[in-house]
Amino acid sequence: MNTLAYAATSATEKLGLSKINRREVAAGDVLIEIDYCGVCHSDIHMARNEWGNTIYPLVPGHEIIGRVKKVGPEVSAFKPGDLVGVGCMVDSCQSCSSCNEGLEQYCENGMTLTYGSPDPASGGFTYGGYSSHIVVSEKFVLHISEKLDTQAVAPLLCAGITTYSPLRQWQVKKGDKVGVIGLGGLGHMGVKFAHAMGAHVVMITTSPEKGEDAKKLGADEVLISKDSEAMNSHANSFDFLLNTIPVGHDMNPYVALLKRDATMTIVGAIEPLDPVSGGGLIMGRKRIAGSLIGGIKETQEMLDFCAEHNIVSDIEMINIQEINEAYERIISSDVKYRFVIDMKSLKA
Amino acid sequence: MNTLAYAATSATEKLGLSKINRREVAAGDVLIEIDYCGVCHSDIHMARNEWGNTIYPLVPGHEIIGRVKKVGPEVSAFKPGDLVGVGCMVDSCQSCSSCNEGLEQYCENGMTLTYGSPDPASGGFTYGGYSSHIVVSEKFVLHISEKLDTQAVAPLLCAGITTYSPLRQWQVKKGDKVGVIGLGGLGHMGVKFAHAMGAHVVMITTSPEKGEDAKKLGADEVLISKDSEAMNSHANSFDFLLNTIPVGHDMNPYVALLKRDATMTIVGAIEPLDPVSGGGLIMGRKRIAGSLIGGIKETQEMLDFCAEHNIVSDIEMINIQEINEAYERIISSDVKYRFVIDMKSLKA
């Protein structure tokens, strides 16, 4: 069986709950009936074992929206019927300095990922959101406002927090000139957030067509990265750059856009980046940083910010039966901007 | 004539002041009789036109110590007889946001370098410290304490401020674990400063012998970068890394040493750096930054810090006639840690 087909058929309803040993609802746990699950590019990497660490059976999915069905006796923050979300992680040590600071994604003892991760609670592995149900410790469950379009909220749990967190960490504020590099699942959320924070948002893309799309999402300006004259005219002018390019690339043209003391944060490319000129960093005391999703507290803050500013993801709804085609379309950047699976389709 | 020989013979006493058109003392200027001038690796790059932008005749030297001989009528901060210093720059626009913040080294209209730079004040070019005298605007002249060993103060004007500034910018404090990567002119000052700031200083070097030397300068610990087991045992443990390696190199092993949210600042390598793993930055929200010398205000602060903590450079004194041999020894890292030219030798 090819891995893509596997990803589809491995959903819990196909395999049966018993086979994948989903854990029982413990005292601090919440049982969630899943309504929608976003499709992240990392689902593809994992389903295809492209990072070399996949353990099968695998149930992908870490942009999960659903309703609480049942809670354990020690759960205080949730009750049956609540609209909730689960993102990329479902546990962490809760005792290291990162966890103490609310930065569970950097847990020094290793966070437990929502799928494909050894699960200390069950002794088995975690299984993600391409599923009818999931059991998660209440510490990793998020409150979702009923005000928003529920199905379009799902991608906020990964694409949303991944872009919101660095904008907050680097204190993007009203009037700042912020560049969002790349327009995909991450980039389109970056544009929406930076716009809502009051920044002057510049979409930096190779494609004029994507530039026009970005304007509809809130970009004030478009900078075509292949146009060296245009790039020069923006040199040393950006307060912050959010780099969502998902693969290694030449960062020097973007470093040149930064103001003195400004930062470009990488959120997409985990692979080796092309050689950066030391001089480009030195001459303006510039910075390149990384950022990984966000902590639970900040994820809740982001969801509340979205409710306040009426921000959701732009999505295309699919049934689980269409997942393999969706994966191919993601790979060819043919989606505006995130697929979300309607989990009712599992019962079809 | 080869460029090295040229660097030696081009000193002002050999050429005669008229030939290189050294400027007159204007209203805001200070005429300095130079006692000592440090030899920086960039003097070699410039003398040999290795950066491709050298204009001959060239008088290198930007680590200048001397006494005021004469001041213009508008000079208020200096008087004849004062012990003073001049570093890497002698002018800037004084009106851009960088200059207004005291960061003249990042002047948006371009600072005027101490040598080899078009000089708006004279209409010619600037000539540096391998010379009997220099005329500099008082705004770019530093006060030097009489308490310190004067000849060993010279390298503070470049090697000193280059390493002091990033330690301050990234707020290195008592108890921080600070790594200094590379032990040369820059690295040996980095060790002294970080030690004086109360940090736990780790010398990171390929050479156990250099490690032992670093301990004499104030390092608390030595980490041999070729020892992967030792490097692993220090993973995610450094609050700050000062990277003084002067050439492109693989930075990933050093990024791995940083704590979450910690920064490695590059002060030496202006050339392309080997590919950095995006994942290495993302997984701990780590940062790579650059830093260029320091502003005039901070340079004075650094010199005052040195007077307070009795910090000078470790030097080897030479006569100007030995400059070509000194250049060769710098290139082969055979100096502990900075050559300083005794300018009296110009009259020999």
* Structure confidence by residue, pLDDT tens digits, B87-126: 999 999 999 999 999 999 999 999 999 999 999 888 889 9
Is residue B19 within 8 A of residue B57, CB to CB? The reply is yes
- Residue A200 falls inside a structural domain: yes
Interchain pair A291, B284: CB under 8 A: no
Disruptive mutation site among A167, A259, A271, A273 for chain B (greatest number of B CBs within 10 Å):
A273
Interchain pair A270, B277: CB under 8 A: yes
Pair B262, B323 in one domain:
no
CA dist A275 and B247 (Å) reads 13
In degrees and rounded to multiples of 5, residue B77 shows phi and psi of -95, -10
Pair A147, A276 in one domain:
no
Alpha-carbon separation of residue A160 from A167, A185, A303, B40 (angstroms): 11, 9, 9, 49
Is residue B166 within 8 A of residue B265, CB to CB? The reply is yes
- Residue A306 falls inside a structural domain: no
- Residue A307 falls inside a structural domain: no
CA dist A182 and A164 (Å) reads 15
Pair A238, A219 in one domain:
yes
Q: What is the mean pLDDT of residues A255-263?
A: 97
Does residue A116 come out as left (phi exceeding 0), alpha (psi in the -120 to 50 range) or beta?
Answer: left
Pair B242, B262 in one domain:
yes
**pLDDT at residue A117 greater than cutoff 50:** yes
- Residue B40 falls inside a structural domain: yes
pLDDT at B59: 96
Interchain pair A282, B272: CB under 8 A: no
B45 touches chain A (CB under 8 A): no
pLDDT at A283: 94
Average pLDDT, chain B: 92
Residue type, A147: K
- Residue A235 falls inside a structural domain: yes
Contact residues on chain A for B292, CB-CB shorter than 8 A: 282-283, 285
- Residue A308 falls inside a structural domain: no
Q: What is the mean pLDDT of residues A280-303?
A: 97
**Residue with token string 């639970």:** A296
Strands B112-113 and A338-342: unpaired
CA atoms within 13 A on the CB side of B255: 25
Pair B97, B178 in one domain:
no
Is residue A91 within 8 A of residue A115, CB to CB? The reply is no
pLDDT at A16: 45
pLDDT band for position A20 (50/70/90)?
low
A108 touches chain B (CB under 8 A): yes
Q: What 8-state DSSP symbol labels residue B50?
A: T
Disruptive mutation site among A50, A97, A276, A291 for chain B (greatest number of B CBs within 10 Å):
A276
Interchain pair B260, A292: CB under 8 A: no
pLDDT at A269: 86
Domain around B196? 159-290
pLDDT band for position A85 (50/70/90)?
very high
Is residue A62 within 8 A of residue A158, CB to CB? The reply is yes
Pair B11, B55 in one domain:
yes
Pair A153, A13 in one domain:
yes
- Residue A82 falls inside a structural domain: yes
**pLDDT at residue A286 greater than cutoff 60:** yes
Contact residues on chain A for B103, CB-CB shorter than 8 A: 260
* Structure confidence by residue, pLDDT tens digits, B189-215: 999 999 999 999 999 999 999 999 999
pLDDT at A4: 35
Q: Where are the beta strands (DSSP E) in chain B?
A: 29-38, 64-71, 83-86, 89-91, 112-113, 133-137, 142-143, 177-181, 200-205, 221-224, 238-243, 258-266, 287-290, 315-319, 338-342
Does residue B51 come out as left (phi exceeding 0), alpha (psi in the -120 to 50 range) or beta?
Answer: alpha
Q: How many CB pairs under 8 A join A and B?
A: 116
Q: What's the pTM value of the predicted model, to 2 decimals? A: 0.91
Pair A46, A123 in one domain:
yes
Pair B76, B142 in one domain:
yes
**Could you check whether the bond before residue B115 is cis, i.e. omega within 30 degrees of 0?**
no
Last residue of a domain, one of A245, A275, A290: A290
pLDDT at B21: 57
Pair B207, B263 in one domain:
yes
Domain of residue A216, CATH code: 3.40.50.720
pLDDT at B10: 44
Q: Which residues contact B44 (CB under 8 A, 6 or more apart)?
A: B50, B327, B330, B331
Pair B108, B187 in one domain:
no
Pair A144, A181 in one domain:
no
CA dist A132 and A127 (Å) reads 11
A248 touches chain B (CB under 8 A): yes
* Structure confidence by residue, pLDDT tens digits, B266-318: 998 888 888 889 999 999 999 999 999 999 999 999 999 999 999 999 999 99
- Residue A91 falls inside a structural domain: yes
Give chain B's domain count: 2
* Structure confidence by residue, pLDDT tens digits, B26-73: 999 999 999 999 999 999 999 999 989 999 999 999 999 999 999 999
Domain of residue A72, CATH code: 3.90.180.10
Per-residue HEC secondary structure of B189-255 comes to HHHHHHHHCCCEEEEEECCHHHHHHHHHHCCCEEEECCCHHHHHHCCCCEEEEEECCCCCCCCHHHH
